[in-house]
Homo-oligomer: A and B are copies of this chain.
């Protein structure tokens, strides 16, 4: 069972395509947690407890832990250990957006898959295949390659015309045809751009897509579902970070997103 199977099993079991993004920025978490000795860990345990019932995946954005140095790294590792212990059936994603030359990518893969023990990682395609290969070689792990991101400047490079189609299409094609030999590739496809998601779905077959840009970033759930569901009626990992974890009631926010999604796929 690889990372994608793990996600599918969990998504079926709880009837949810929701991913809760633990962007636990120390400057933004509630004051009550900031008084704790390990504030990010305490906050994450709270959010995991509150939202796990609705979560098919949790996504940890590495930046918010690295910003706190070694202490942040310890709290990230502690949060991951807690999540694995409490909920071994929930997919864990490291949102790291890594890629480097071969021997360096191998060290990142070791850091993320072995040292941190997560199931899947986001990767940047700019350096090409051999930068991705050390990650792809972990057959049981998931490699989620940036294709079309949800930030305002994503068009700067991703929309450049690359041989008759935008660059993000070329990336989707390479992921589908060249990089998915182990069947462990996924793609990042912005929830703010459903029309482009339709194209990505047509290129990528039933490949699973990680969808940022829902919730705080404003994407339209209905349009995303219409564009992105695969032939099994799944194939989407729909992430919301700030919209859930900083909501007045995180459990309610996660349940609401699950229900909004499920209303469009019944």
* With A70-B74, A74-B70, A115-B69: A152-B171 Cβ-Cβ less than 8 Å: no
**Which residues of chain A from 220 to 243 have any CB-CB distance to chain B below 8 Å in the complex?**
none
Contacts of A112 in B (CB 8 A): 66
| Copies per complex of this chain | 2
Determine if B101 and A149 form an interchain contact, defined as CB atoms under 8 angstroms apart. yes
* With A70-B73, A128-B158, A157-B126: A212-B101 Cβ-Cβ less than 8 Å: yes
Determine if A111 and B66 form an interchain contact, defined as CB atoms under 8 angstroms apart. yes
**What total of chain A residues lie within 8 Å of the partner, measured CB to CB?**
61
Contacts of A174 in B (CB 8 A): 156-157
Q: A129 at interface (Cβ–Cβ under 8 A)?
A: yes
Q: A8 at interface (Cβ–Cβ under 8 A)?
A: no
* With A77-B70, A151-B131: A107-B25 Cβ-Cβ less than 8 Å: yes
- A–B Cβ pairs within 8 angstroms, 20 of them: A61-B104, A64-B107, A66-B73, A67-B115, A69-B116, A70-B70, A73-B73, A97-B99, A101-B149, A124-B126, A124-B127, A126-B126, A126-B149, A126-B158, A128-B153, A128-B154, A129-B156, A133-B153, A157-B171, A160-B167
